[in-house]
Structure 1
């Protein structure tokens, strides 16, 4: 019935009304609209009816049609067509936390709906964050021939004509596939999906305003709510007009074919996102990258040996780091002859940096605007993030939050587990196996070139806690597998107790497949194991897994008198 009623002229009429077009206020309401207003929708919810207002018409004209004389009248007629639905759990946002919470609750017999204002599901994880950025990385590695450079005298010939369009084609394909996977998983578990912007009317009622093409306004009643709306890039005050998506962009805009691959790339922000993209572009032949960060060191939560190695590798490829210096002004200069745009960055030290493009990647803020949290008494912090207790509850007991919107560690992997755990807690589900301890040993993966990953304690944390420890190292260049694949840069280190039973404290890796290899160390830590597991366990050879055994032998040798 909706397709029959929502004819193209009617849809246009509603759009014009809601946008306040005065030219239509005195137009007679046509037959399709009249049928729409009088129709019963979704089992009995009807539109508000109004008495027809007489209008002058020729005597020969047919029956007089009702006339609406104000924008408010039109809006009331169309937008009060409302679905009122009740759910055990309403999830706002379809990113990793929202997906896993919804599916977990649905598998346990709860009625669940996911509300997302995007045109396709998956959230930042699928569309502008994790999946597309990692696809972008692999596309660059493939097209530039980085992995094959050791076998050939020059980079792949494909690089000569490489464009952002070539890279984005792969990014778009993978993103569409992943979004379809999310929709399929939710559908298989009978999770309902609503497209539209969510806004709290009160603690238990949420309004869902659909896009302008559907004209339906829905109100859902929620016994429990999970807010998993993710984050969005920070933009500094006074920069709004500078972000054109071509020469200056944030991390949500960078994945676009609107701009050309640069010769000089400026990255403001030396956090995870900034360094990932900086290292990716740094692998492109002919591209020089400058990283600017106001802090004296990069990634302070990562093992210092690892960050030092990353900077060394990037510098060998031409990168420049300006640390402890902040941006005070940015100008976009257009050459009047060539039309070429150049970015001029002025630093607090008085130095200037010039480039073709600038990526601003200094933090992210919670994507909570428009949710109506003020009606609930929930106050985001200054970064727009939501405070929760150990059980992911906000200040309103039946409203939970999980994922990036609650802050550190803001990783897709941890967000998934937070969503599952939140749904377990709100409904009292019993965890299928194990205790929560095994899920507190979280791995960190940073997809720079090369990758970085770690789990457990860092050396600095052990020093600060005054815990005695020993370290064992293994270099990639010692492995046959590293030479076979031409992936010789990097190392693995393990930290452990110097006394028996040599309990493992942590592990850190920089190099090829680091984000995969770290799970070996994670498994040992989760079961409170020791480095003798690496020594006594037999691994396939040649493999990168041999790194753990080599590092364990190296560390144990240091403990001997």
Structure 2
């Protein structure tokens, strides 16, 4: 058994852990990292964001290829299997692992491979796959262990036809029909992916509408396009039981419905990876979803232990986790830091969705007078050229001050387009108004020019009122 001493120990090398480790190393702290997986990058690289978004991109290319008449002359349609598409999508993972490994090596951050558990609030034991144990002491510790799919006890995930959002990336056959239970972000994304591959999809939503945190118009658009692509969406349902046999899976709902398919993908919630950490030895306790409570400095109830990323819950985004990791180090060194509350949503359905700021329902509830500017991608030259003509950009702004209050985008490259509006929203001293978009020249043809169209649309409506 070896012993190690660091100023700062990071448990978990995903987005939050990596960002914190790099920031601490650049601040001349002695940094150690514990990572349970054999390769760096965390679940984001191996089981979450990177593989699922790469899979989506591959499916999107397949759809575009099949929809272009010019390509039909090359040869007849060839059905693609899920394993083949998955293999094509997985090519990016080794590149990401190499990149993350280089970051740690360049900054001389030592990585200990194995499972961590607290011995006290300043000591952590790590055991590798061979049973070798080391003890690491550190003045400060960051818990950045991420999350995993929530698995209810009464669903048999060992059955070869039952999957969660991790194991679906190992599925080695192509079902003709699939049930997706849970219509959160992950469920909607996979519904798009499988529908794009031509599978018959039943998407079971436990709520009254899809992604209720979205602006109603965007949620409605998502619902329409999922159904238009063949997805059967069922709202306000609860699971009674799951029957899985060698011939298929039957999902029994409390409403009395029985849904049958070749496979089931369970996407109903996630759990923080804290159950193996022995948190009680450090004076901590996780909630029923395995999440750790933090304050606005990302500090837990134990003053030398911090937590960031999915393990603290909302917003559970890789983008936010990177910022949280850096914020932890800033708070630790008593520098100016930002508690991440304004992260834009990025939902990689087909088409994708992104938004920042307030929704119409929130503004109406708060009695804030606002107006709406819209631009439809089918009316933009770039959308017509690229064939990406589904979707819209929507700007919400104050009817008197013209301050931008919210931006919502549905369609191609929405997660990229949103950042233009986000940047203007955050401008100080009254520069955050919708007038920016009519007083600025945009490249033509671009998708970004939708901001000018939407701004003019909204301002014309204001002028009609005045």
Shorter chain as denominator, the TM-score bin is over 0.9
Matches within 5 A, 1:228-243: 228-239=144-155, 241-243=156-158
Aligned partner of 1:462 in structure 2 is: 363
Aligned partner of 1:188 in structure 2 is: 106
State the secondary structure of the residue aligned to 2:452.
helix
State the secondary structure of the residue aligned to 2:197.
coil
Aligned partner of 1:542 in structure 2 is: 445
Choose the corresponding residue for 2:202, options 280, 287, 290. 290
Unmatched segments (≥5 aa) in structure 1 = 1-81, 335-340
After superposition, the C-alpha distances for 1:433-468 in whole angstroms (9 at most, x for unaligned) are: xxx49x653211000000000011111111121111
Unmatched segments (≥5 aa) in structure 2 = none
Asked if residue 325 in structure 1 is aligned to residue 237 in structure 2, the reply is: yes
Choose the corresponding residue for 1:356, options 255, 262, 274. 262
Aligned partner of 2:161 in structure 1 is: 247
After superposition, the C-alpha distances for 1:291-346 in whole angstroms (9 at most, x for unaligned) are: 11221111111111111001111111111111111121211233xxxxxx221111
Aligned partner of 2:416 in structure 1 is: 516
Structure 1 residues 344, 482: CA separation in 2 closer, same or farther (over 3 Å shift)? same
Asked if residue 109 in structure 1 is aligned to residue 21 in structure 2, the reply is: no
Matches within 5 A, 1:24-63: none
Choose the corresponding residue for 1:490, options 383, 386, 391. 391
Cα pair 2:14 2:43 within 8 Å, conserved: yes
Asked if residue 507 in structure 1 is aligned to residue 407 in structure 2, the reply is: yes
Aligned partner of 2:45 in structure 1 is: 126
State the secondary structure of the residue aligned to 2:276.
coil
Asked if residue 376 in structure 1 is aligned to residue 282 in structure 2, the reply is: yes
Deviation of the 1:153 alpha carbon: 8.4
Asked if residue 141 in structure 1 is aligned to residue 60 in structure 2, the reply is: yes
C-alpha distance in 2 between matches for 1:174 and 1:352: 39
Structure 1 residues 250, 158: CA separation in 2 closer, same or farther (over 3 Å shift)? farther
What root-mean-square deviation, in Å, do the aligned CA atoms of Structure 1 and Structure 2 show?
1.7
C-alpha distance in 2 between matches for 1:499 and 1:541: 30
C-alpha distance in 2 between matches for 1:328 and 1:460: 33
Aligned partner of 1:346 in structure 2 is: 252
Asked if residue 308 in structure 1 is aligned to residue 220 in structure 2, the reply is: yes
Aligned partner of 2:170 in structure 1 is: 256
Deviation of the 1:152 alpha carbon: 4.7
Deviation of the 1:151 alpha carbon: 3.5
Bigger relative contact order, structure 1 or 2 (CA pairs below 8 A, ≥6 apart):
2
Q: TM-score, normalised by structure 1?
A: 0.80
Cα pair 1:444 1:454 within 8 Å, conserved: yes
Matches within 5 A, 1:15-94: 82-94=1-13
- How many residues align structurally? 461
After superposition, the C-alpha distances for 1:522-543 in whole angstroms (9 at most, x for unaligned) are: 1011115110001111110000
After superposition, the C-alpha distances for 1:251-287 in whole angstroms (9 at most, x for unaligned) are: 00011242x22221110000000000011111123x2
C-alpha distance in 2 between matches for 1:516 and 1:158: 34
User: Which has the greater radius of gyration?
Assistant: 1
Cα pair 1:148 1:486 within 8 Å, conserved: no
Deviation of the 1:150 alpha carbon: 4.2
